[in-house]
Amino acid sequence: MTPNTSHFQALVTAALSEDAADHDITGDATISAGQTGHAVTTAKETGVLSGVKAASMVFEAADVGIVQQWQCVDGAALKAGETVCELKGDMRALLAAERTALNFLQHLSGIASLTRQFVEAVADTGCAIVDTRKTTPGLRALEKQAVLHGGGVNHRMDLASGMLIKENHIEAAGSITKAVAACRAQGGKAWIEVECENLEEVAEAVVARPDIILLDNMSVEEVGRARDLVPGNIIVEASGGITLDIAHAYAGTGVDRLAVGEITHSAPALDLSMRVMRAA
């Protein structure tokens, strides 16, 4: 998922407005009008960078005269102490934009960093790490892009991007078989995925032939047995409380991918800082 420029712009505008960046009373009181500054953004810990475009647009919106020199690109592996970006320009504008820019960078880099950890944990299995719709309202496009920067794979972007039949849909339709048939009758090119919670449901789903079978909240042993029931032409995905320490065990069962909500809804922010100094 790659957000378009207008989407970025809307988010940046809203974020700066939320922070009253055009009315920084502390900056106005302590910094002389026209004072120029030099800012350095630094990684305080190891991780993966994401959010460069959003942060860049924040500084541009604050003052088009700010000169930005990015030393790292999205997806880059960062080391503690590494310089991410250097900026020069109006000191008031730099400080007014600082927190909003860092909020984007730290949050999105945190997602990219945690995703990379999951990807590396299962690297020898051939299993992919995919995201979910458990995202921050309004930030889904950026968060899913951060997953890509971390080496993960995007699942459906929204409810119109694919048909994911869950327990409530099965209840409403009457059975997995009826739910798959109803989705198939709907027509269109959207893929069909069925969530299964036990081996009996997996067996029924195999006969119904969806594109993807999701094994939800099963133990590693159950996932392994379920994997053996599904033919190779159906993608198998596992989800439900899969943490970093058990991801490899789940991936080792032979499933094609692990859906991990944690990478977007619970990723800790990556520690980045920005120091602004008066120009000589």
Tell me which CATH code domain 5-118+267-278 carries: 3.90.1170.20
Which structure tokens are listed for 100? 């909003």
Residue range(s) of every CATH 3.20.20.70 domain in the chain: 123-265
User: Would you call 99 a catalytic residue per the annotation?
Assistant: yes
Spatial distance between the Cα atoms of 178 and 118, rounded to a whole number of angstroms: 35
Residues 6+ apart with CB under 8 A from 168: none
Radius of gyration for the alpha carbons in the chain, expressed in angstroms and rounded: 23
Active-site annotation holder among 44, 88, 99, 225: 99
Instruction: Report yes or no: 78 and 84 within 8 Å, Cβ to Cβ.
Output: yes
Q: What is the pLDDT along the chain (280 residues), one digit of tens a residue?
A: 567 888 889 999 999 999 999 999 999 999 999 999 999 999 999 999 999 999 999 999 999 999 999 999 999 999 999 999 999 999 999 999 999 999 999 999 999 999 999 999 999 999 999 999 999 999 999 999 999 999 999 999 999 999 999 999 999 999 999 999 999 999 888 999 999 999 999 999 999 999 999 999 999 999 999 999 999 999 999 999 999 999 999 999 999 999 999 999 999 999 999 999 998 6
Alpha carbon separation from 270 to 83, 117, 166 (Å, rounded): 14, 13, 34
* Residue extent(s) of CATH 3.90.1170.20 domains in the chain: 5-118+267-278
* Cα 19–chain centre separation: 23
DSSP state letter for 22: G
Q: Is 18 a catalytic residue?
A: no
Give domain 123-265's CATH number out of 3.20.20.70, 3.30.1280.10, 3.30.56.10, 3.40.190.10.
3.20.20.70
Give yes or no: 201 in active site: no
Classify residue 178 as exposed, middle or buried by CB count within 10 Å of its CB (0-12, 13-18, 19+). middle
